[in-house]
Amino acid sequence: MWTAQEDGRRVVIKRLVAPTPHDDALRSHLRHPAYWRRAADVACSGVVARTPGLREPGVVRVTEDAQGITLVHEWVEPHPRSARSLAHCLGRFAAADLPEQPWFVRGQLDARLQQVERRGGWRTLARTPVADLSNALWQRRGSYLARLAAMPQVPQHGDPVPGNLWGADDEDVIALDWATLGYGPHGADLGYLALSVPEELDTLLEAYVTGAAAIFDPQAVRLAARCTAVFTVLTRADWALSRVAPGEGALAGKFTHPSIAPYIRAMQRQLPMMKSLLEV
């Protein structure tokens, strides 16, 4: 991805590379989060060009060739907003009437945990002080996923970190990276946001439900947000630790390494949420 000047205006160019026979087959599955061309399908469809809460930057062009797709969007000036404001916009987007598309992500958290399962689960976390807690949550993952699947499924961006909630247009956010757009349980996007901002979940929850015009049950939204945040932060921590575990020295001695410490701190911050999740 890079920026350029075209016809006197600044644009953002993103290149999507088509899968090869050697790539993971999941890149070609329409509903999977890893589907390679979803961002192009979003741009061509215009499905989030005028949605409330979040919308896509203006699309300049989309061109396809044998090797992939080139996306060109209008440049958007960054406009930082408070976490409460972002949560409010996520709620508004979740309440939007978004027509179903065959390439929308479905079951994003489930799909990612299936990938973890194929790798043998959170094996590296089993060597840390959170071993018992993470194992208890892992063993109950099927129950949590079933509860999320039974909830109302609403539009979700899929990766609403502040870096993707970039610009502003009146009351709406101009959001980047729509590669995981789809439907999920109300509150899932809120859980992802909660991992990237300092505010507590309940503070964000109030803004999210208000943005959704109170059509969602706050307790159900809280459960979906907590499940999303907890299983995501543990998966990230296990992934980061697994990359350094084979090296020399005790694993505990690597917790403060600059490439690992942010994942450990994020996990530690969510410890109260992990423990409370086991009670529901």
- Gap between the Cα atoms of 23 and 21, Å rounded: 6
- Gap between the Cα atoms of 1 and 15, Å rounded: 6
pLDDT digits (tens, 9 = 90+) for 91-105: 999 999 999 999 999
Reported as a pLDDT band with limits 50, 70 and 90, residue 66 is very high
pLDDT digits (tens, 9 = 90+) for 138-181: 999 999 999 999 999 999 999 999 999 998 877 899 999 999 99
| C-alpha closest to that of 183 among 209, 207, 152 | 152
Over range 51-62, report the average pLDDT: 97
Distances (CA, A) of 233 to 58, 115, 241, 266, 269: 32, 15, 12, 7, 10
Position 169 scores a pLDDT of 78
| C-alpha closest to that of 144 among 233, 267, 230, 19 | 230
Domains and CATH numbers, the chain: 103-163+179-277 (3.90.1200)
pLDDT digits (tens, 9 = 90+) for 12-44: 999 999 999 999 999 999 999 999 999 999 999
